[in-house]
Amino acid sequence: MTEQKKLDSKETEKGIYTDFINQMTYGEYLQLDQILSSQKRLSGHHDEMLFIIIHQVSELWMKLILHETRSAISSIENGNLHSAFKMLARVSKIQSQIIESWDVLSTLTPAEYMEFRDKLGQASGFQSYQYRMIEFALGYKTPHILEIYKKDADLHEQLTAALHTPSLYDVSIHALAKAGLYIDKEMLNRDVTKRYEYNNSVEAAWLEVYKNVEKYWDLYELAEKLVDIEDWLQQWRFRHMKTVERIIGFKVGTGGSSGVNYLKKVLDQRFFPELWDLRTSI
């Protein structure tokens, strides 16, 4: 760079702040001192840092998924579908980021993981409470899972509240009914603490939406946003399963699950069954 260019650069950037004695810095705003000091390796092994950071970042993304999904649920309840669309589209983009993280974790070899795996004890991603809250928010309710969280009374209370809260799919079905589409009464008054199960009237209502797109455009767009979310979630689960198989094979998980065999069974779980089944009927 010539001297003249250096001078020009200094002139164009002369407004940059350098005095932060009485001002908040970028690091302070993000509380980076807390975030970046939260990677505590128990083994001291080089590759444990990768393992910790991947899971911490995933939990941060899940926090944002919950933030957006809860707001979308509220928007749909209030009849503001367009606001919900923006939030649900963001959820799908976040999901794509979490899926990409498995590519990074898969650089961990079986030999490297075994250097620190025993330090995890019984700690496992199976115990991720935010992941359970995401399942609850999408309608896959499993009350028995709350046993894992009895150690923390506040957390147990949060999960119990999430269990009793209508899911994204519950409020979407109510939106169908509000639009004049027939939904069985028992579905509109169902026990939201129970896992959602397929219902004929719900499929018939969604099918009507897909056959009359112009009339029910907002509901049609809502349906496709829901399909996006389940699609991405299942892709995340598949990449999780394959990454685990690549690193530990068919060993039992640290949390006591059957590992890969359990993760394969999870792939059969469905959140919005009618939205997938109706595709055969159209």
Q: Give 6's pLDDT tier (boundaries 50, 70, 90).
A: low
The 10 Å Cβ neighbour count of residue 139 is: 22
**Per-residue model confidence as pLDDT tens digits over 124-176:** 888 999 999 999 999 999 999 999 999 999 999 999 999 999 999 999 999 99
pLDDT at 190: 96
Block residue for tokens 């169902």: 190
pLDDT at 1: 53
Q: Torsion angle of alpha carbons 137, 138, 142, 143, nearest 10°?
A: 30
**Per-residue model confidence as pLDDT tens digits over 64-87:** 999 999 999 999 999 999 999 999
Cβ atoms 223, 87 nearer than 8 A: no
pLDDT at 123: 87
Residue 27 CA to its chain's centroid (Å): 26
pLDDT at 5 over 70: no
The larger pLDDT score, comparing residue 158 to residue 255, is at 158
Structure tokens at 184: 């069985």
Residues 276 and 44: their CA atoms lie apart, in Å, by 47
- Write the burial class of residue 162 (CB in 10 Å: 0-12 exposed, 13-18 middle, 19+ buried): buried
The larger pLDDT score, comparing residue 81 to residue 4, is at 81
Residues 142 and 149: their CA atoms lie apart, in Å, by 13
pLDDT at 3 over 70: no
Residues 212 and 198: their CA atoms lie apart, in Å, by 22
| Assessment of whether the complete model's pTM goes beyond 0.75 | yes
Indicate the annotated binding residues.
51-55, 113, 117, 240, 254
Q: Can you list the domains of the chain with their CATH numbers?
A: 47-126+168-279 (1.20.58.480)
In the chain, what's the furthest Cα-to-Cα distance?
78
Q: Which of 203, 221, 202, 201 is nearest to 213 (CA)?
A: 221
Indicate the annotated binding residues for substrate.
51-55, 113, 117, 254
* Residues counted in the chain: 282
Indicate the annotated binding residues for heme.
240
pLDDT at 24 over 70: yes
CA distance readout (Å), 269 to 101, 241, 266: 22, 14, 5
pLDDT at 9: 58
